[in-house]
Structure 1
């Protein structure tokens, strides 16, 4: 079975596309201070094209890196994972869809094509894409997180037919460019979230089913599958030292899959679920009591209230969260009316929440509009978020 020890290294070269920009840009910007060498990456779509993009907090700058290699024109990739290890960003798995224009070009229709096992690595410093060994099991909508210099994945959907998750898990060793199987979870899950916390790889929530065997049934009797709020609200943790999975009942508590869960200074934070990426506040997890509670001074009914430049008619298009030091960075996009009533533009904003702010002394929330590599800092048309984001700290 796979080990979770070691450090990241290079992978076989694929091609050089995009640019990593300057190495350590310490211009005044979104976070200042220690954010000069930080990059935050996420994947979007404009029409029928995926776009790999980068936000630099130190320079308060947002730019497009380029497309995702191997995704054909007129196709988009969904349900994949984006995760950072060292100075590299990995794009893992996903569901490939053909995108056709409908309703006169204002709407798109997606048709599933296949489930991918492809793994790509983007070298942030060199601005270069590299091909990695593929997943042992093609999958999408799965849990993924770096753990001890490796990348762990678990759960997800492996087929376009039906909605039944998998219990299979595996781990990637970048130094050897190899995926190795981990023990199966006790539940089959998809739309679950992965986070490394207290040394263990946590697979939280999702649509889950457990297997139950009837001891009195004759041999060969099919195993019964059971799904309830008990399974969907639980988490499974891979204990790196013992090499086994452990169940935490009620860790998520809600019967709705989480959206993102991140670890900051030994604590877990969440801001929404798969139905609402922003629930109106930041929640922090108490492991001893096994409950989530509202973080002090985090409550905001709408994050757009932080931006005075947005018109009242602005609609939130996307929201994703990354960790930089002790701050939560929320990369948000808002749809605003264009020059005429029939066009729309996307305004990209960044909101940050300081998890260590002292109430009454340091404001917890701040908001800023990044400089863009587009005219007037706006983008024509609607922009779709197709991944969570991850942050990379470049060494000096």
Structure 2
């Protein structure tokens, strides 16, 4: 590019000649008109209005003209660039309108057509059953309590009247936490919450006043092998009531109500004598087999006995009340513990514990989204 001088004729600069400017405009307008889509228009814009286009180069040559020639050349090139810019804007609007019309046709959705099938999610039956049991007890005015799964050995055994040489303390039944003298275990039942509930302090630091009515759902651990009917990690619902004048009749009435809510109004129950260190007298609760009603010796559900074992229960042992600072001559109590996993197997006809613990979504899907 040459420097300014006073005798320079712009017509003699090839890029600024009227013919060259008109030719550049004609070529640009033709390219713009022939652009069939927005991508082609973008290419035309770069070629005819970009920094390296003929009109842009001509515009840069104006700086080398003498002042007397700059006005005329600038006006002529400016008008040419304006025509190209206007043509680009107009063609842009036309192509965008065509694109929008095409999208409306090609991507139209018929809202009257049914959507694709989608699998509905499901909640795990353990969660559903625990919440159902909690609803039963809260409706009776009971509290729902919780306790730690890594439990002090004193709460898990000593406070519940387990003798130091009781078989349940041995390694074949209990998971002990290292080091061996830590005094900690993975709780083998939810019964430790019995003692924790009775020893719980209020905000003033004093023991809460009796009576106590608590239900305790939770996860427990025992050194069992995983098979069709056992698992080392399972769930229990523990119940504890301590009040004046409670009897076995109150216990049976409470469990009968729970059984009817879980298994139907027609369920028949019975109490069978048993032994547990933390209750005296103690019993196992059974309910009548709803498959054979005791009439089929070969029944696979009840083993031909006519009854299905559900869980243990009884009146709280005096030693447990004394360990928790409760006067057994004034207060009595009852307690019970039922397996929630077993309740699911009985209530829903689940034959293999693997189905409950392995997390197959096809198993949970059968239970739906009950809330």
Normalised by the size of structure 1, how large is the TM-score?
0.23
Which one has the bigger helix percentage? 2
- Determine which structure has more spread, i.e. the larger CA radius of gyration: 2
